[in-house]
Structure 1
């Protein structure tokens, strides 16, 4: 009976363990679907888009400093002087404008523009992080699903082997020890299945956090992205295009301008003003009323001669901040260079692992088939069969992990080079235009006509 059972189990173990992993519905979710869902769902992207709009408004506010300020003023005063009641009222209109400030406002506008560009680059960096997180979640779900299927088939195969051992024990061919070994192997496989199912649930939750929904059936990943010709080329691309480097460059430029702005604070400024005022004074007891109309124009020029060390301290602080941003740029460039090298090495390692594991699987399958055949002849024990099966199972599980690592390493390399964006991946969906809001507010619109384009932008992003 035992030999008949073994003959039934003699089919290739790989086919048995992976039988359920081959059938996927035609409408399975692709990796592109996952990235699109993450791009549309991400609250982190929404947060950083709002940060960018705030930076756009800072540029508009800086521009507004070059324009006049117009105010109206109204006042009313009641007095009782030695029994006489009197009141006065006034209404005025005044305007003031900085006529010349030796470049301070112009520098402030340039600083605001550099900050806008830095924030745009930071938004691209967030986009890369969101897409890479979605890719990792997708690959984790696929790997966890395959591990569960592998363990489920392992439980089934070991269950059949445990039954075969029991049947063989019943006819006196083996001892209770062999049966116990088969029982232990089956229990261990069930524990591994429970662990794999737990890992799958964790992966599903991560996928839901990234995309806003639980995964359905996931299609096989597409062919891996094309690599640059060499690691040197990949590093050069990263230095040119990575958003963190672009952000650091803009921040360094803004810090240079901050030094110039701090130095310009010591210069004089010239402002002009104009005012119109109408005032009425009335004595209640006598009924006397006097109205006075006035108009004035003024020019004022001022310069700080002594500030107690505040202005020199601000200048030194700006220079220290400039040095810090320069060092940050250098450090960022080095980190990007390291990330490219690490991802490139990850690809090489995963490829080598897959090649070695493929050979291991072939050898382990041959060893397993041989041990089973020898067991039918009584030359091998149940433990030998179980150990051979476990070696093959572990090799196949390692293959699943290595394949996922290879896929992920390719996209990590794209991210390290600054190319993991919706546009570069050609996902075929409308993307957020980081310049649309800036164009609408860069001239600091204040009338309904000038605000029409701003209204359209706000409606397009669902904020109005």
Structure 2
């Protein structure tokens, strides 16, 4: 009892099964790569403020103090000078700074798009690890059941051989099936351990806490036709958004390069004061201005016109145009890739649902065949080898059903990610309680 209490204290997750949504939320807190992506997004968003700062006025305060001494003279002895000024500079026409604002806005949008990609990637990776654990667990259960049944049949075949009612061939067949099941169990345990390690790396949770019925409780929404799925992907796909923001950033670079050929107009204003005073003032200090106090105000417009820069600006303009074309082609390539991947995922869901139902029926039929073959053997119409073959086909059918279910779920996750709708409400479609499974879903 003490050992159980210790396990409960240190591993409370053992008391409650982990749903897919809970696993994703755990990964958001635990995964270091996702945390790095979040910090990168925050840093990238600062580019917007930095860009808009160039369009706003800059104000600075300057001040100075100096002491000048001329020994052995009758004036300007130990003169102290003070000055201060407040300066303002406001761009009136500076296309380069406007381009910097556009670039900052595009970089901020790019940071958001990259973070959305990171979110979708995290959810997809956690979902794949989650369902792979469920799948490998089912494969292991099939292998363990097969070992148990084949072990019983092997002992029955040996007993029948000792009594003279069986053949050596039946014993060898049972032994071969038993050995094959053991090999499959070893492979299944290894694959389950690998899947659990991947799941733990992402979430920090133990794979034993995964909800065991989650693979039977999914509700995948399906678009009526492929065209609807494609339109949704083209509108919301995170990779397309990312490529679009890269095009916007390339356009701002073109504007910035163009601005190098245009004049820059700035409004400049300043207000300040100067005063000085000698230590031993006399008439000469007043005559030569050693002692003085002035205030000044300056308002003006500064115009700068570039004339020639060695051809570097022309080269930079050509470079930015080529970069813009590159970004446009990359965007089109991304659209085509998303289009192809969406078609594949949609077909995998459509055909995967039909295949899963067919695999389920095949497993039921294989189970019925095992029962009828066993009954036929008892009547002398079937042999032990026939029963062993039927058992083998039944366990193969169960494993095929589990594999079809895993591929169907993976296709659903893939389509949701491509359409940019892989969020928390969607993840709830993959989780439920056993009481929520309808009778039609159980069949």
Aligned-pair CA distance for 1:292: 6.5
User: What is the aligned partner in structure 2 of residue 206 from structure 1?
Assistant: 198
Match in the other structure for 1:266: 261
Q: Which moved more, 1:305-314 or 1:50-59?
A: 50-59
User: How far is 1:44 from its partner?
Assistant: 3.3
User: Cα distance, 1:312 vs. partner?
Assistant: 1.0
Q: 2-side partners of 1:28 and 1:252: how far apart? A: 45
Distance 1:148 1:252, change over 3 A: same
- Could you say what secondary structure the match of 1:99 adopts? strand
Displacement after TM superposition at 1:75 (Å)? 7.2
Deviation of 1:49 (Å) = 2.6
Give the superposed CA RMSD.
Answer: 3.5
Out of 6, 16, 20, the residue aligned to residue 31 of structure 1 is 20
Matches within 5 A, 1:261-410: 261-271=256-266, 272=268, 274=270, 276=272, 295=296, 297=298, 299=300, 300-376=302-378, 382-410=384-412
Question: Given the alignment of the two structures, is residue 68 of structure 1 paired with residue 58 of structure 2, yes or no?
Answer: yes
Q: What's 2:282 paired with?
A: none
Report which stretch shifted further, 104-113 or 66-75: 66-75
| TM-score where L is the length of structure 1 | 0.75
Deviates more, 1:267-276 or 1:400-409: 267-276
- TM-score, structure 2 normalization: 0.79
Q: Give the stretch that moved more between structures: 68-77 or 229-238.
A: 68-77
Verify the 8 A CA contact 1:59 1:112 in the aligned structure 2. Answer: yes
Whole-Å separation in 2 of the counterparts to 1:134 and 1:315 = 45
Any conservation in 2 of the 1:31–1:135 contact (CA below 8 Å)? yes
Asked if the contact 1:278/1:291 (under 8 Å) is kept, the reply is: no
**Residue 51 of structure 1: aligned partner:** 40
Distance in structure 2 (CA, Å) of the matches to 1:176 and 1:381: 13
Cα separation, 2, equivalents of 1:155 and 1:282: 107
Q: Could you tell me whether the CA contact under 8 Å between 1:98 and 1:269 is conserved in 2?
A: no
SS of equivalent to 2:270: strand
2:91 matched residue in structure 1? 99
Aligned length in residues? 401
Change (3 A) 1:105 1:167: same
Can you give the 5+ residue segments of structure 1 that lack an aligned partner in the other structure? 1-24, 428-464
SS in 2 for 1:407: helix
- Partners of 1:383 and 1:406 lie apart in 2 by 34
1:220 matched to which residue of 2?
214
Q: Could you give the per-residue CA deviations for residues 399-442 of structure 1, whole angstroms, max 9, x where no partner exists?
A: 01101211221222111111112366579xxxxxxxxxxxxxxx
Post-superposition offset of 1:119: 2.3
8 Å contact kept, 1:224–1:407: no
Aligned equivalents of 1:174, 1:347: Cα separation in 2: 48
Report deviation, 1:342: 0.8
